[in-house]
Amino acid sequence: MSETGSQNAAMAGLLYQANAKSTGVTYLLWFFLGALGAHRFYAGKTGSGIVQLAMFLVGWATIWLLGLGLLLLVPLGIWVLIDAFLIPGWLRAFNTNLVHRVLA
């Protein structure tokens, strides 16, 4: 392999490592800040992260109003639990796409 080729390969490896998403970090965000959608923001799912954050904030803001906040918080809790099973697929897809972008 030429020196330029090995430099390009090293640069591609560094770019991948700098931008790849970590499963451990994602699960920590899910566990501690899951209801706020932090794990979705980290995984690049910004739109649904905003929806989860809004459901959390509106749910807690209206829970005193005859428990109406529960209509948002219960589905949010179920959604966050389901996310635990979806995280590996999201990260695999993100990191695979990243490999293709780095090598292009």
> Tell me, what DSSP letter sits at residue 2?
-
Q: Within a domain: residue 49?
A: yes
pLDDT at 55: 98
Rounded Cα–Cα distance for residues 3 and 66 (Å): 70
**Confidence bin at 3 (pLDDT 50/70/90):** confident
pLDDT at 40: 99
Report helix, strand or coil for 56: helix
Q: Within a domain: residue 72?
A: yes
pLDDT tens column, 47-84 = 999 999 999 999 999 998 888 999 999 999 999 999 99
- Say whether pLDDT at 7 is over 90: no
- Say whether pLDDT at 1 is over 60: no
Q: Within a domain: residue 14?
A: no
| Residues 89 and 44: beta-carbon distance below 8 Å | no
Rounded Cα–Cα distance for residues 88 and 1 (Å): 34
Range of the domain at 79: 22-103
pLDDT at 71: 96
pLDDT tens column, 10-42 = 888 889 999 999 999 999 999 999 999 999 999
Q: Within a domain: residue 7?
A: no
DSSP-H helix ranges across the chain = 3-19, 23-33, 38-42, 46-62, 70-103
Q: How many domains, in total, are found in the chain? A: 1
Q: Within a domain: residue 55?
A: yes
Q: What is the pTM of this model?
A: 0.89
